[in-house]
Structure 1
Amino acid sequence: MQHVRDILILAILIVSFATLLTVHVALAGLLIARVRPRWQGLLAFLVPPLAPIYGFREGFRRTSALWLTAVLVYTLALSASYIF
């Protein structure tokens, strides 16, 4: 039973991290493509916590919410991996 739990936690870690990376690149790309000044998108790409802040401010609410959700799920799964 412990192996099943470990595999489940690992799968959640992989999927949530992949989702976070994908959404982060997409959000930074949206900011670079559609928002002036463009340096904010580049800064959001290089400093990840700025991406959802700039995204919410510029109206990319769903993408920013997905970014935050992916971070939350990844953090919870990482915590679970240490606890269990």
Structure 2
Amino acid sequence: MQNHTNKKQPNNPLHGMKLLTILELLVDHYGWEELANKISINCFKNDPSIKSSLKFLRKTPWARDKVEQLYLELNRKIG
């Protein structure tokens, strides 16, 4: 029998969430300056934009993990 855990992840709050959506929610909530204070990466500090941040986060797993963790923390607070 095959394992189908990758198809449905009911306990994973990130399942089905696009990085774009996560980033937009964080920017709307914190703003770029506060986001840069919480996650110290240049794409949030210097001339930040959704497009440049997405490009960086998609190729930098450790930074993406930090963004996802911050989203999860925010989700728990306002949930």
Q: Same fold (TM over 0.5)?
A: no
TM-score with structure 2 setting the length: 0.36
Give 1 or 2 for the bigger CA radius of gyration. Answer: 1
Structure having the larger proportion of residues in helix: 1
TM-score with structure 1 setting the length: 0.35
Q: Kindly indicate whether structure 1 or structure 2 has the higher relative contact order, using CA contacts under 8 Å at least 6 residues apart.
A: 1
